[in-house]
Amino acid sequence: MRLITVSGPPSSGKTSIIEKTIQVLKKQAIEIAVIKFDCLSTADEIIYEKKGIKTKLGLSGSLCPDHYFVNNIDACFQWGLKEHIEVLITESAGLCNRCSPHIKAVLSVCVIDNLSGCQTPKKIGPMLKFADIVVITKGDIVSQAEREVFAYNVKKVNPQATIIHINGITGQGAAELAKLFLKANDYNSLDEKKLRFTMPAALCSYCLGETMIGKDYHIGNVKNMQL
Judge whether residue 176 has pLDDT over 70. Answer: yes
Give the Cβ contact number of residue 14 at 10 Å: 28
Q: Is 51 helix (H, G, I), strand (E, B) or coil?
A: coil
Instruction: Give the residue extent of every domain in the chain.
Output: 2-201
Q: May I ask the CATH class of domain 2-201? A: alpha beta
Alpha helix (H) residue ranges in the chain? 14-26, 44-50, 65-82, 120-123, 126-129, 144-157, 174-182
CB of 99 within 8 A of CB of 200?
Answer: yes
Per-residue pLDDT of 26-63, as tens digits, reads: 999 999 999 999 888 788 888 898 889 999 999 988 77
Global pTM?
0.87
Task: Name 27's bridge partners.
Answer: none
For 60-81, how does the pLDDT look when each residue is reduced to its tens digit (9 = 90+)? Answer: 887 777 788 989 999 999 999 9
How many other CB atoms sit within 10 Å of the CB of residue 131? 29
